[in-house]
Amino acid sequence: MLYLDGVFGVVALALWVFCLLDVITTDESVCRNLGKTVWLLLVLFLPVIGSIAWLVAGRPQPAPSMPYKGNHGPALPERGLSARPLPSSPEDDEAYLRSLRARAEEQRQIYREQKRRELGEGGTPPS
């Protein structure tokens, strides 16, 4: 019986140290249900109960989109899928390059129009 008490004590101490370090290193904004200071005091002064409460109710849960134990992120909607293969780099995507060229030309037109207005109002080009 004494042996089991010793094992329980070592397990409780390991759990307490783990949870104490976990509370300290966890960011304040991701703590659940209570503030970080309250969780730290709870785990510090009630080692077994506070540690179990931290693991159950306070520890941040991973985001569902993170790959973890077979979770490969959110499913893609069927509408957004296209039949054409995706290019390996932006330089290989003609539609992307066309949109970049059109945007650059639009910015050039805006710049030219601004320069025309400046020349028209001032009469001489700025030097």
Mind listing the pLDDT tens digit for each residue in 55-95? 898 888 766 655 555 555 555 555 555 556 666 777 777 88
CB 43 within 8 A of CB 51: yes
Torsion of CA 4, 10, 14, 19, to 10 degrees: 70
Chain Cα centroid distance, residue 101: 32
* Mean pLDDT, rounded, of the chain: 79
Q: Greater confidence, 68 or 26?
A: 26
For helices 36-45 and 2-25, give the axis angle rounded to 10 degrees: 160
Whether pLDDT at 105 is above 60: yes
Whether pLDDT at 5 is above 80: no
Q: How far is CA 65 from CA 56, 72, 74, in A?
A: 21, 7, 6
The Cα 19–Cα 21 span in angstroms is: 5
pLDDT band with cut points at 50, 70 and 90 for residue 112? very high
The Cα 127–Cα 118 span in angstroms is: 12
pLDDT band with cut points at 50, 70 and 90 for residue 35? confident
Q: How much of the chain, in percent, has pLDDT values that exceed 70?
A: 72
The Cα 119–Cα 127 span in angstroms is: 12
Helix %, strand %, coil % for the chain, to 5? 65, 0, 30
> Looking at residue 101, what is its pLDDT?
93
The residue-averaged pLDDT of 15-26 equals 90
pTM, 2 dp: 0.47
Task: Average the pLDDT over each of 4-13, 15-24, 74-83 and give the range with the smallest value.
Answer: 74-83
Tokens read off for 5: 């008490």
